[in-house]
Amino acid sequence: MTNQYVKKVLIVGGGISGLAAAIALHKIGIEAEIAEKQLEWDVYGVGIIQPPNALRALNEIGLAEACMEQGTSYSGFDYYTGTGHFMFYGPSPTIQGYPGVNGISRKKLHHILIHAVQEIGTKIYMGTTVNQLDNKAEGVTVELSNGITATYDLVIGSDGSNSKIRQLLFGDIIQQYSGQGVWRYTLPRPKEVDKGLFYYGQKAKAGLVPMSDDEMYLLVTTHEPDNPRFPNDQLHVLLQERLAEFGGIIAEARNMIVDPSLVVYRPIFSHFVEGPWYKGNVVLVGDAAHGTAPHLGQGASIAIEDVIVLADILKHDLDIQETLRVFMDKRYDRCKLIVDHSNQLVEWELLTWSGKMNDGGRIGAFVNETLIKMNEPFLTEVNRPIG
């Protein structure tokens, strides 16, 4: 399987989408190099929720089974009031052959991906970013910060929400601060936590997400006006304070938050590149093109889908501009839906916490309908555009 137009690819960013891209391209006979700005692999975050469409995408590169083996799968979530009173069980929409949810440590997911990349011999430049792009019809000449200058047929910008590649292509864009922050903390998993749990308080939302037989992570979303900066040595105290209203197992978890270095706090921003995500032979994928609030658990899912779809289109040996036009056609609406629907959930949560919205059932139905939509097929036949 060969592509006459794409022989040499540079992937900028060695996160989830960048590593998945290298594997997907290798599968269709295209070798890639990765430029990763970190000197060493430093996995940000605690755990991650993998819905069925994420596992389906990972299955295209042979990694879904490893994720389910090293994570823990379950059918859905129990929902509680903030004080700990059970409301209802919500099964997650499924795809045949996959669970409703798979929880996994981000470090384990990264190790699965990096092991696969090492197995295929992908060249990785660590501690390296892009200084300059010279984007021409015959290819992209890239000046790397490690002193190497090389020409590539295609450059994939998978370098996250603060993408250097996006800035080089399109200049600065506005990332919208949501008014919320998300806190995470790893905890031992009791045997009775056999599914995900969500608690809806008056001023915050808290959840517990199983990651393995013996680990889970605490997930807390709070209203943080004006995007405050917190002292690192006080993060555990600040998180405890935000959980004061909660009962049940969340109250028990609160007492176990003792190490500020284990608290991962992140202000929630979102953005969506409204125009084409490409210029010349350079294309953005994942968070570089569409950064989303985490309320639907779909950020990594659609990033992985991006690179699977891109590789699938490259199999059809279209020229690069046709390839990127088809890619946009297949990804734009699906990814915009996730960004827009996640932003809607942020708005509704803030209205609920301010006492201006009480229809929680509407939120649940909205989430369920969105996840059902995401379970629809994302790989469809590629037809050569006319004209």
- C-alpha span between 71 and 189 (Å, rounded): 13
Q: Residue 379's pLDDT is what?
A: 85
State the pLDDT confidence band at 359, using cuts at 50, 70 and 90: low
Check pLDDT > 80 for residue 102: yes
State the pLDDT confidence band at 92, using cuts at 50, 70 and 90: very high
Average pLDDT, the chain: 95
Return the number of other C-beta atoms located less than 10 Å from residue 143's C-beta.
Answer: 14
Q: Residue 364's pLDDT is what?
A: 85
Q: How many CA atoms lie within 13 A of 275 on its CB side?
A: 7
Check pLDDT > 90 for residue 44: no
**CB-CB contact of 58 with 96 (8 Å):** no
- C-alpha span between 125 and 31 (Å, rounded): 14
Instruction: Report pLDDT digits (tens) over 218-254.
Output: 999 999 999 999 999 999 999 999 999 999 999 999 9
State the pLDDT confidence band at 387, using cuts at 50, 70 and 90: very low
Instruction: Report pLDDT digits (tens) over 47-60.
Output: 999 999 999 999 99
Q: 360 or 218: which carries more pLDDT confidence?
A: 218
Structural domains in the chain, CATH included, are 8-81+96-175+270-374 (3.50.50.60), 177-268 (3.30.9.30)
Percent of the chain with pLDDT over 70: 97
Q: Residue 81's pLDDT is what?
A: 94
Q: Residue 323's pLDDT is what?
A: 96
Q: What are the residues whose beta carbons fall under 8 Å from the beta carbon of 381, sequence distance 6 or more?
A: none
- Return the percent helix, strand and coil in the chain, to nearest 5: 35, 30, 35
Residues in a beta bridge with 135:
140
Q: Residue 363's pLDDT is what?
A: 85
Return the number of other C-beta atoms located less than 10 Å from residue 336's C-beta.
Answer: 15
Q: Residue 383's pLDDT is what?
A: 60
- C-alpha span between 53 and 46 (Å, rounded): 21
Question: Mean pLDDT over residues 113-125, rounded?
Answer: 97
Bin 226: left if φ > 0, else alpha if -120 < ψ < 50, else beta.
Answer: left
Question: Mean pLDDT over residues 353-358, rounded?
Answer: 85
Tokens read off for 282: 């350079």
* 162: helix, strand or coil: coil
